[in-house]
Structure 1
Amino acid sequence: MANPSFSTSRHPTAPDPWLAVNYALIFPGFGQLYSRYWWKGGSLVAIAIASIIYCIWSIFGAHGNTVHGFWAAGWLVVLYSFSILDAYRGTQANYGQRITVPQGRKDVWYAVFLSQVLPGLGHLYIQQAIPGGLWLLAGLLTAWLANQQPLLAPIPPAIWAFSCYHVYRNFPGQSRRTSTAIALLILGLFITRLVLGNTPNWIDQNFIQSIVPSESMLPTLQVGDRLFVRPSPRYIPQRGDIVVFEPPEALRAMLPPASQENLFVKRIIGKPSETVAVTGGQVLINEVALSEDYVRSPAAYEWGPATVPPNQYFVLGDNRNESGDSHVWGYLPAEQILGRGYKIYWPPDRIQPLPGGRSRP
């Protein structure tokens, strides 16, 4: 069988279609900028950035619509796909030509493209089975390890980038001189994959998701409402804030084992050093009636007066007579509070921001 022939370029000055595709894989519009379609490339980059910002704001912003954020994410997939296809076609004499795998001669940039998809594929394409298998194993193994340990997140992008560089440098007939094209490519690839790889960790660090487990916060929150919470060590709860917290010891002792790790949702009523009383269906703070327009019905129980200890809070559910809260199990220590619930992000018909700090004596 004849050995395959190899090609490193089409023409010294002509844009290479698979190099354009490689750039487009990094970010929409980069392939067009490489081919000197400045307006088209710049427009695609700007649209992609605006779409990403809108997507993030819609999903995580208090006033954003989560459904719109998902639509924006879908639009980004379409834009990304169009950018790749257009980057390839823009280098062809016939713009309508479909993307085709290089026939006959092996193509260096197609090998790099395969390595962008998965480390080692480019090496297998040029019949370097041992390096290809090693790169493939390294890519899959480090991706799995990074998923288990977030501190290892930079390693998989580095594996992907160096796999592309290695197949470029070891491509048969390829010049040993470092190319600006491959240098920019692996830099862009590393940065893009590092950002994408760290996105789940960034979300976990900056947002907590909580599901309302009971009817204790009716009518403000319904069973099954999904909330976004911003955890912050600098957060100081204010009266009226809807807070998500881990159960304190007194509440944990009242729960079945299966529910002891659940998160709970209540409203801040009394702050440290304030005197709280519940009498005649009203909440009194320092003997002044609290104005509350969110409760389902007035409390049918008596409690207090008592002074809230330092670094602790008195919390109640809006459905006063169906809520296991501070009038049942005591005060909520500040260290148990994860943050303020600021948005119902799901289901679609319930998406809305959650106000905070509205109650006042």
Structure 2
Amino acid sequence: MNFALVLFLLLVATAALWVVDRFFARKRRAPGAPSPWWVEYGASFFPVILIVFVLRSFLVEPFKIPSGSMIPTLLVGDFILVNKWTYGIRLPVINKKIVPVNDPQRGDVMVFRYPADPSLDYIKRVVGLPGDKVEYLNKRLTINGEPVRIETDGQYLHTDRLYYSPRYVEKLGDTEHRLLIEDDAPAYLPQVMDFPFRDHCTYTSAGVRCLVPEGHYFVMGDNRDASSDSRVWGFVPDENIVGRAFFIWFNFNDMKRIGSFN
């Protein structure tokens, strides 16, 4: 469901009822006569829907994490807030940028519309910027010929399945973050899709090399071996960007999760 479109249609409908009631219907009713229930309720909801629409479209939008592809940074069930204006002000519904502000940076956790199905929202970490040469070979990341710094950081316990994964600390740009890499998982990607600019990538048994096209971004999940990302379905075009995730505001299973993250 396109919630932004539904909210916009509700805004238009309640705004129309408010205008009709404010400038036309009231003048024709007898003094003291009540408004029809559908006019009264519709007009009263208009300011509430307007506030929600403005906040959600231009400032912050809530999301719920549905999968484990961003473990250990984000867990299933985390409710997060996404900054809608960090990467520029966009028109609601059509998502067209009208005021450029900043561009995504390496290390940002970004929400975007899934390129293969824009009705779905995905969240991943920005790894490659336009023009970057990204290599992920033998489970090690290289950008523009420079290996990305990575250090061991103990183990991560998956409480739902009671097993441990090797945990690492990686530095992308100015951002340090933790990630999981399964040493015994295969490096090759047998399920690669046919995506725009597919010819910018070369796949081998060791992994993938990609040249990020202009106006696009290469993203990956922090749970590297359990993430379907740019290695599989390609690059994220700028017009698909929703915003930058910056805060965990709730988790029903763990209240200690509330707070910011890298």
Name the TM-score class by shorter chain: 0.5 to 0.7
**Cα distance in 2 for residues equivalent to 1:228 and 1:262:** 17
Shift of the alpha carbon at 1:238?
0.5
Render the CA deviation track for 1:307-350: whole Å, top value 9, x for unaligned.
10001000000000000000111111111110000101112331
1:297 aligns with 2:181: yes
**Cα distance in 2 for residues equivalent to 1:279 and 1:220:** 23
Pick from 223, 230, 238 the counterpart of residue 319 of structure 1: 223
Shift of the alpha carbon at 1:145?
4.6
Render the CA deviation track for 1:14-57: whole Å, top value 9, x for unaligned.
xxxxxxxxxxxxxxxxxxxxxxxxxxxxxxxxxxxxxxxxxxxx
1:247 aligns with 2:105: no
1:350 aligns with 2:249: no
1:137 aligns with 2:16: no
The residue aligned with 1:341 is 245
Contact 1:247–1:336, Cα closer than 8 Å, also in 2: yes
The secondary structure found in structure 2 opposite 1:352 is coil
- What is the TM-score normalised by the length of structure 2? 0.59
The residue aligned with 2:203 is none
Contact 1:213–1:264, Cα closer than 8 Å, also in 2: no
1:284 aligns with 2:142: yes
Which one has a larger percent strand, Structure 1 or Structure 2? 2
Paired residues for 1:1-361 under 5 Å: 130-134=30-34, 136-137=35-36, 141=39, 143-145=41-43, 147=45, 153=47, 198-205=50-57, 206-232=59-85, 233=88, 234-249=101-116, 252=117, 261-291=119-149, 292=170, 293-297=177-181, 300-301=186-187, 302-347=206-251, 348-355=255-262
Letter in 2 for 1:201: F
Shift of the alpha carbon at 1:201?
2.9
**What is the total number of aligned residue pairs between the two structures?**
171
Render the CA deviation track for 1:46-70: whole Å, top value 9, x for unaligned.
xxxxxxxxxxxxxxxxxxxxxxxxx
Gapped runs of 5+ residues in structure 2? 1-28, 89-100, 150-169, 171-176, 188-205
Contact 1:212–1:264, Cα closer than 8 Å, also in 2: no
Render the CA deviation track for 1:206-249: whole Å, top value 9, x for unaligned.
21111111110001100111111111223411100000111103
- 1:209/1:197 Cα in 2 relative to 1: closer, same or farther (>3 Å)? closer
Cα-Cα RMSD:
2.6
Contact 2:138–2:207, Cα closer than 8 Å, also in 1: no
Gapped runs of 5+ residues in structure 1? 1-128, 154-195, 253-259, 356-361
The secondary structure found in structure 1 opposite 2:179 is coil
Contact 1:235–1:339, Cα closer than 8 Å, also in 2: no
**Cα distance in 2 for residues equivalent to 1:283 and 1:202:** 39
**Cα distance in 1 for residues equivalent to 2:120 and 2:79:** 14
Letter in 1 for 2:115: P
Deviating beyond 6 angstroms after TM superposition, the runs of 4 or more aligned structure 1 residues are none
Contact 2:82–2:246, Cα closer than 8 Å, also in 1: yes
Contact 2:65–2:77, Cα closer than 8 Å, also in 1: yes
Which one has a larger percent helix, Structure 1 or Structure 2? 1
The secondary structure found in structure 1 opposite 2:105 is coil
**Cα distance in 1 for residues equivalent to 2:44 and 2:214:** 41
**Cα distance in 2 for residues equivalent to 1:133 and 1:296:** 66
- 1:318/1:142 Cα in 2 relative to 1: closer, same or farther (>3 Å)? same
**Cα distance in 2 for residues equivalent to 1:304 and 1:208:** 33
Render the CA deviation track for 1:278-299: whole Å, top value 9, x for unaligned.
1122100011111314111168
Render the CA deviation track for 1:249-297: whole Å, top value 9, x for unaligned.
3xx3xxxxxxx63311100000000100011221000111113141111
Letter in 2 for 1:354: F
User: For structure 1, which segment, 261-270 or 301-310, has the greater mean C-alpha deviation from structure 2 after superposition?
Assistant: 301-310
Shift of the alpha carbon at 1:198?
4.4
- 1:197/1:213 Cα in 2 relative to 1: closer, same or farther (>3 Å)? closer
